[in-house]
Amino acid sequence: MFAIAFIFLFIIGRLFVVQVVDGYSLQEKAVDQWTRELPVKAARGKILDVVGNVLAENVGTYAVFVRVRCVSDFSLVAEKLAEKLDLDKEKLYERLKSATSSEVTVARQVDKKTVQELAEYQLDGVYFAPDNARFYPYDDLLCQILGITSSDGEGVFGLEKYYDKYLKGVDGEFLYEADLVGKDIDGKTVNYIPATDGLNIRLNIDLEVQRICHAVMQKAQTEYTPKSASVIVVQPSSGKILGIATTPSFSLNSPDRSDMAAFNKMIRSPLIVDSYEPGSTFKTVTAIANIDEYLLGNDRAFSLEHVFNSSRFRTVGGRQIKCWSTHANGKHANERLSEALNNSCNPCFVDIALALGKEKMYEYIEKLNFGKVTGVDFMGEASGMVMPLSAVTDGDIARISFGQTIAVTPLQLAMSTSALINGGTYYTPYLVDRIESSSGEVIQIMPSKSKGRVVSKEASEILRGYLERVVAEGSGNKAYIEGYRVGGKTGTAQKYENGVIAQGKYVMSFIGFFPANEPEYLALCVVDEPVGGSYGSTVCAPLVKEIFEKIISAKNIQPVEIKEKDKKIN
C-alpha cells in the first residue's frame, strides 16, 4: 500500500511539474516544433531637432530569407537571388546546401522594386519580411554626434548607441505552420505578431544654429587646413547643447569603412572625448577665484584695484615664466585684473595663483568639474587630466593659472565658463530634451540638472563685465559686434610631442557669449594646428563672431542701446 501510494504521489507530482511548473516552456517548445518564424523589424525611432526637424529617419526596405527545407531547386534559388542581389551564385548555393539552421538570412535592407521582381519568380522557400534602413536627411550634419546603425539596426556610436534602448523598438514576427522537418503544411495558417516601433528622441539641437556652426567650421577647414576645427554652442542658463560641429566631417549615409582605424578616428567628437591644454581661456578660472575670494574677505586675494608688477617675468621654483608680450613701450604697465584679462598677461595670473595657494586654487578647479566627466548624455566622454593636489608644486600651480599643466575637454571648459558668467550655477550639459512616441506623445522629459552654485552672483557679474571689455577693447576685439554686448576670452596653447613642446604647433581657441549682461548663447571654438594663423584672437574670435552674427540674423535678435556706463567697464 505504501509503495502504491508512493507511485501515485510521484505521478501526481510529475503531472504538476509538467502542467504547471514547466507548462509554459513546454508549450513554447511544442509551438516551436510546428511553426516557423520570420522576423518583422520594428521601425527605429526618429531623431528630431528641438522644433521637430527630422535628423535621422527610416526608409522602407525588406529582408530576404530562405527556408532551406522548403527549397525544391537550390540551383534555381541561388541563381535568381544572386542575380538580383548582386551575390556570388556558387557561394550562395554552398551556403544554402550546407545550412544547419532552418532559415538563412540572404540579404537585409533590400529595396521594394528588387523584392517585387524576386516575388515574380515564386521561388519555393524564399520569403520576404519588412526591414528598415537608416537615412540621415542632412548627411554629414552632426555626423560625430548622431552616430550610425549596423545592418541589424543597432546603434553603433553617438546618440544612436547611447539611446538605442529607446530607439530600437521590439521586433514582431510572422508564424507559419510547418511539419516536423520544417516544410510548409498545405493550407497552412499565418499568424502575425506586429512589431512595436521605437520611440523618437527630440534634441536640444537647433537646426538653424547647427547649420551655422557646420558652415563656419567648413569655412575654417578650407581657410586654415587644420587637423580639426570644432565649435560648441550652449545655453549657459540650462546646459542645453544647441549646436556642435567638427570638421573634417563624413557622410552618415555612406561612411567609408574600408580602413577601420581611420573610421574610428573619424567618428570621434573631439569636443567631448579629447583633452587639450586650454591656454589663456583658463585664465577666467584664476580670475574668478580671486574675485570670489576677495568678495568673501580672503586677505590673500588681491583687491580689484590692485596694480600688478609690470615686469614681463616671474621666477617660480627656479624656472622663469614670461608673458607672451615683450612689455615694450610701457605695454602691460599699471595693470589691474581687468586689464590683465584684456591683455592676457601671464605674470598677473601667476601672482594670483601663488597668493591664493594651491589648495584654494584646487578648490575652484574641483568645483568647476575639471578632472571629472560632466555627465553629458554621450558615450566615451573624457575627464581631462588634473594633477593630484599632493603632487602639485608652486611651479605647477603657476602654470595652471594660465592654462598649462592641466588638460580639459572643450565641453568641460564651455560648461565651467557658462557657470562663471550665468550667475554662478553649474549645469550638466545635455543633448536630448525628451523622449516621444511616434504620435508625439511625451514619454519622458530630460530636465536641466544643476550641480549647485560654484561662485557668487556678484563675482559672476564682475567677471562678465571684465570679459565684455576683453571683446570691446582688448585681445578679443575681433569678436566685437556693433550694437550687441559680447564677452569672451582668447586662448593660444602650445602642443607637446613626446613630452616636449612641438615647435610651431598650437591649439587656438576663443570662448564668447552674448548678450554679455544676460547670456543666452555661449560658443567655444577650437582650431587644432591651423596653417597661417597666429593666435586664438586672430583665428577663432572672428569665427565665433561670424556664428553670433548669423544667429542674430536667423533669430532676428535686435540690437540694444549700450549705456555709457557699460561702455567703460572698470
- What is the rounded radius of gyration, in angstroms, for the C-alpha atoms of the chain? 32
Q: What burial letters (b/e) apply to 456-495, b meaning 16+ CB within 10 Å? A: beebbebbbbbbbbbbbebbbbbbbbeebbbbbbbbbbeb
359 — alpha (psi -120 to 50), left (phi > 0) or beta? alpha
| Nearest CA-CA partner of 234 in 201, 267, 209, 268 | 209
- The catalytic position among 238, 280, 460, 509 is 280
Whether 175 and 193 have beta carbons less than 8 Å apart is answered as: yes
All 3 cell numbers of residue 401? Answer: 593659472
Distance CA 444, CA 432 (A): 11
CB within 8 Å of 275: residues ≥ 6 apart: 382, 384, 385, 407, 408, 409
Question: Which residues does 378 contact at the CB level (< 8 Å), separation at least 6?
Answer: 145, 158, 159, 162, 269, 272, 431
449: left (phi over 0), alpha (psi -120 to 50) or beta: beta
Residue 514 class from Cβ within 10 Å (0-12 exposed, 13-18 middle, 19+ buried)?
Answer: buried
Is 280 annotated as catalytic? yes
Cβ contact 132:44 at 8 Å: yes
Listed residue (174, 195, 198, 177) closest to 187, CA to CA: 177
Q: How far apart are CA 132 and CA 58, in angstroms?
A: 6
Q: Cβ-count burial of 510 within 10 angstroms (0-12 exposed, 13-18 middle, 19+ buried)? A: buried
Report the catalytic residues.
280
